[in-house]
């Protein structure tokens, strides 16, 4: 008979609990790299949404006074306030974690993911409605901003036969992931400033390692230098055109 003493007092894990296990930073970066690979469309659609939801989870959880696992579980279980990706997007927007542009872009990812997850017929990213959804991404008002150029490039890629709308969707997820990463970095830097000088010296090297560089370098890091599309990277690295 197996010993039972070691599990005494522990709650039995349920299948649904697997969806609440967060990714480590290393795992998240690795999974973001998987988006650029040639995979089944439904895999790309689901993976992109999962990765962004993981980033939102991290940012949202940090906003609550109680951050223990039991509280977070009660917030994210079925029919709870944060029980859906949609509710997490709304809450992140209400907290000021994401602005209107990123909210709408994340909803684009959610809509496409839902289409793949719930469609009874087999679809792929070449479906006209999928392409149309990507091309409807809202652009920020600041036309000279890097984000404007990035999202414009993603919209343009969706209409091209190569690399195509699946690649555009992956790039969209990477762009949103970068914006959420900036929020996480700002939060960590704020915590760093609140530390004593003694602790700051200990963490300085780690904090410097989290700096986010230029967009093209960031994307290359996430993509693992694989399948970089020169047209897209040229769009990102070129200066925005002046307004006529």
Question: So what's the pLDDT on residue 230?
Answer: 47
The per-residue pLDDT for range 141-198, each reduced to its tens digit, is 999 999 999 999 999 999 998 889 999 999 999 999 999 988 888 877 777 676 655 5
Q: Are 31 and 51 in contact (CB under 8 A)?
A: yes
Q: Are 41 and 234 in contact (CB under 8 A)?
A: no
Q: What is the pTM of this model?
A: 0.74
The per-residue pLDDT for range 100-109, each reduced to its tens digit, is 999 999 999 9
**pLDDT tops 50 at residue 87:** yes
Share of the chain above pLDDT 70, in %: 73
Question: Other CB atoms closer than 10 Å to residue 76's CB: what's the count?
Answer: 19
Domain range annotation of the chain: 23-236
**pLDDT tops 70 at residue 204:** no
Q: Could you confirm whether domain 23-236 is CATH 3.40.50.300?
A: no
Q: Regarding predicted confidence, which is higher, 193 or 128? A: 128
Question: So what's the pLDDT on residue 165?
Answer: 95
Residues in the chain: 244
- Give just the sign of the alpha carbon dihedral 9, 10, 12, 14: positive
For residues 100-126, average pLDDT: 96
Q: Please tell me the distance from the alpha carbon of residue 164 to that of residue 157, in angstroms, as a whole number.
A: 6
| Tokens encoding 135 | 């091309």
**pLDDT tops 90 at residue 89:** yes
Output the average pLDDT for the chain: 79
- C-alpha distances in angstroms, 233 versus 30, 129, 182? 20, 26, 20
Q: Please tell me the distance from the alpha carbon of residue 188 to that of residue 182, in angstroms, as a whole number.
A: 10
Question: Other CB atoms closer than 10 Å to residue 47's CB: what's the count?
Answer: 19
Question: Other CB atoms closer than 10 Å to residue 128's CB: what's the count?
Answer: 8
């Amino acid at each position: 008979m197996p010993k039972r003493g070691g599990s005494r007092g522990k709650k039995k894990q349920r299948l649904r609990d697997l969806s609440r296990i967060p990714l480590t930073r290393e795992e998240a970066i690795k999974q973001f790299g998987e988006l650029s690979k040639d995979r089944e469309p439904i895999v790309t659609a689901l993976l992109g949404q999962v990765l962004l939801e993981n980033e939102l989870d991290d940012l949202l959880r940090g906003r609550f006074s109680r951050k223990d696992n039991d509280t977070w579980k009660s917030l994210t279980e079925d029919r709870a306030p944060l029980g859906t990706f949609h509710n997490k997007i709304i809450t992140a927007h209400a907290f000021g974690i994401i602005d209107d542009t990123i909210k709408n872009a994340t909803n684009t990812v959610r809509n496409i993911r839902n289409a793949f997850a719930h469609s009874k017929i087999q679809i792929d990213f070449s479906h006209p409605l999928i392409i149309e959804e990507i091309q409807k991404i809202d652009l920020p008002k600041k036309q000279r901003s890097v984000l404007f150029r990035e999202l414009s490039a993603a919209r343009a890629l969706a209409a091209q036969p190569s690399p195509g709308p699946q690649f555009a969707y992956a790039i969209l997820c990477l762009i949103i992931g970068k914006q959420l990463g900036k929020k996480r970095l700002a939060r960590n830097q704020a915590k760093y400033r609140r530390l004593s000088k003694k602790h700051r010296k200990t963490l300085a090297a780690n904090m410097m390692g989290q700096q986010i560089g230029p967009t093209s370098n960031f994307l290359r890091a996430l993509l693992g230098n694989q399948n970089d599309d020169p047209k897209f990277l040229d769009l990102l690295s070129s200066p925005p055109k002046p307004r006529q």
